[in-house]
Chains A and B, each alone.
Chain A
């Protein structure tokens, strides 16, 4: 395959940045999207240029490190996958592909396609935990049965990989799906009840402080979420917040 790539290049947070065109030949449909970028970078290095910076690590859709806004879609055209799981067979010979970073004021660009998502971490510091020390004499794991239904639902919420596609997709740059998933995981488990009130208030306060926008229920986040995190989690968080506020 022969491709034209229009890639966002930005040398650090203070640079204005812009799209740069690249031609790439010999791309195989079996390659992953990131392998295609590796190939481009090898070409750029051999020509004496500076390779395109992008985030990635596990390359199997679980670490949440890869991002990219591809032809106007977070993680590209395929559904239920991250960019590292996207394959070139989703594109055609001769295609032009736009590649940009995830954009949100709470995700400032570090370089080229790399953004800073530590705002997500700070929301977790505010309450994304259950306060239990490691002692070696915590009560036996089976002393408190949890309904399979609740456990499965908590697990579904907990599969969020913290990639930020929900924020990048949302026209308001809202982080409600991400925060809702974490709040839900704990809200569904008995262990999470003790601190439930403080948790939801603190996490939401931090989310606002970081500059994420409001949720206007467009549902775009759910569509682009590579892990299928459901909008129900946002509803559950809102209920938790109501409970906490009365």
Chain B
């Protein structure tokens, strides 16, 4: 089957409006007869569920947490982009579109991104109307901040808890529909499989995580909004329960999986402290506005720091290497995430890492300069003595505290060091997955009637996501895009009637799920689920992480396959299937990660170019001022890699969606 992105004809700025004017609609009386399943209640699933219910559809929503409010969108800190141009700094729909496509290193689909930029302003209006308490200035109008990689101030925020407030907004919209009986909420439920009837998605099999019951749920369409799959690396900034399973299950039933290797590794996270670490914590990107990143110039100094014989503050100024400022004088510490992450790894690999942890992997993020600069500024404004060091430091600390106080406190709680006195230690960590289930312009997967939204799909961020654009995409998909596109599809279903669940298709899907659950419970292996998950994470991090090469990727594929076989033989799942059993739930998720991991490596192997978050060592600039930097290959790789399931991940078949850039000129990114 050839991939059809179904992008409407016509000029880019008219596509979405024309499309909306010409789609088929379902009349309000008929919507009552149509059921929709939404898996996931994050920004994407929550906003979709609420809007579909407002329109009159019957919605069944599912989440593995105990409440929709706890989806991992809650953890987003920094902000959400929107082309409002409230600051009058020249922002526009086109500029947001342009920045997003460029930031994605020209690997996203133009038409989708334009639509995203187009609806972005509506998101802010909607959220404010819902009572989301965005930050405001003294005149009572909305405040903005700026984020990496752009030249305008278009990021809306609610302190350092933007994701929380947006999610609570979507949750409140859901609550209103739950109270009206239009959404039935299934908390602590995990989707185990999708059910296909006559080639269309017509329901799911879910497991009640409290009672262990296996349930059948039917609907006229199924929407997956299950979030990202960064946990394939075991350690990431994702929640412990974040998983790929919903997306992977539909992949195995016919949905193509696109660009699995596109991962965002965020440069400023708290380093790993040891073998028992369960997850990583992000320190907001905003810190790079004021912190300077460095490692010692001399290897022996780095060694001494690692051995606790020297402290950061013992290293003289001339013995410090501000490597980002050295390598990228134009952007310095504010280079994009992918560039900053690779540069940190390069220094650590070369032996200059400063971590007190087992790996030694960390670099310094130093605020001493910012404290001094702000302190002098304050002294000047207040007419105080600019040569009084203690006073300057004190004044400077106050400014830094006002800006980043909560982050500094979080850092201190975790690391037990005071970042006002000594530089922070940071290191890159897996943060976001740009890849995901392939969808067309309608957000429909290659399974008719099965949609995928939010981080779970591949659509809008290309090979690298800009800060503050994931929240925008999740809400755009759920509030403003899917409710239209799904109506066009469902207009053919007004006479279908309720989908029965006592059919052979449901029987078969349920049987397979039961067999899997029984297998785990009876396997009596010797090693815990986490044991395998951690080993998978190590392979992924070492060979499919920040920098990749052919040899490593081939090894990774073989190793992951072997690990998967060992897992099925030797995994140990304690307890029973009929009570709350977290190990059982984890086993199912890790089984899917063990398949995804191999496809991930295969995709990375096939893409023999460096682009965005994907750095292929074989594809670097060989000489000139850009020597050693990522080299994109537009001639051979300007496509979306959509993989079709064929049994083993290694046998997956590649379908290419060629990317056309009619409204933007392709350029190599340079931050020198």
Contact = CB atoms under 8 A, between A and B. Distances in A.
A121 B179 CA distance: 11
Given A28-B276, A111-B579, A57 B413 contact: no
A53 B281 CA distance: 23
A60 B579 CA distance: 27
SS of A interface (majority): loop
Contacts of A158: 133, 158, 165, 168
Given A31-B276, A148-B138, A155-B158, A124 B119 contact: no
Interface stretch (A92-100, A134-142, A168-176, A230-238): A134-142
Contacts of B165: 155, 158
Interface stretch (A1-9, A42-50, A68-76, A210-218): A42-50
Nearest to A54: B582
B131 A191 contact: yes
Contacts of A178: none
B441 to A, nearest CB: 18
A125 B175 contact: yes
Most buried by A among B51, B67, B86, B416: B67
B582 to A, nearest CB: 6
A186 B173 CA distance: 14
Nearest to A42: B528
A134 B65 contact: no
Contacts of B416: 29-30, 87, 89
Interface in B345-360: none
Contacts of B504: none
Contact of A132 (B130, B137, B158, B413): B130
Nearest to B279: A59
A190 to B, nearest CB: 10
Nearest to A61: B410
B574 A186 contact: no
Contact of A147 (B66, B86, B129, B140): B140
A131 interface: yes
Interface in B35-76: 47, 50-51, 54, 65-70, 72, 74-75
B6 interface: no
Contacts of B580: 53, 110-111, 114
B241 interface: yes
B122 interface: yes
Contacts of A220: none
B130 A34 contact: no
A91 interface: no
A129 B276 contact: no
Interface residues of B, number: 78
Contacts of B54: 133-134
B133 A155 contact: yes
B528 A151 contact: no
A146 B164 CA distance: 20
Interface in B66-98: 66-70, 72, 74-75, 84, 86
Most buried by B among A46, A58, A121: A58
Nearest to A12: B579
B158 A62 contact: no
Interface string B124-162: 111111110111111111100000000000000011010
Contact of A139 (B125, B136, B210): B125
Contact of A30 (B158, B168, B210, B274): B274
28 contacts: A32-B278, A35-B276, A45-B583, A49-B574, A50-B574, A53-B582, A57-B72, A58-B72, A60-B75, A63-B75, A111-B579, A118-B67, A124-B175, A130-B130, A134-B47, A134-B54, A134-B479, A138-B125, A141-B128, A141-B129, A141-B134, A146-B140, A148-B136, A155-B135, A159-B159, A159-B164, A162-B69, A189-B133
Interface of B: 47, 50-51, 54, 65-70, 72, 74-75, 84, 86, 119, 122, 124-131, 133-142, 158-159, 161, 164-165, 168, 171-173, 175-176, 178-179, 185, 187, 210, 239-241, 273-274, 276-279, 281-282, 410, 413-414, 416, 479-480, 483, 528, 530, 572, 574-575, 579-580, 582-583
Given A110-B210, A129-B172, A152-B136, 20 more contacts: A48-B574, A50-B575, A51-B574, A57-B65, A57-B239, A60-B282, A62-B75, A62-B161, A64-B74, A87-B413, A121-B69, A129-B173, A130-B131, A138-B129, A139-B125, A142-B86, A155-B133, A161-B164, A162-B69, A189-B133
Interface of A: 11-12, 28-32, 34-35, 38-39, 42, 44-46, 48-51, 53, 55-65, 78, 81, 85, 87, 89, 110-111, 114, 116-118, 120-121, 124-126, 128-134, 136-142, 144-148, 151-152, 154-155, 158-159, 161-162, 185-186, 189, 191-192
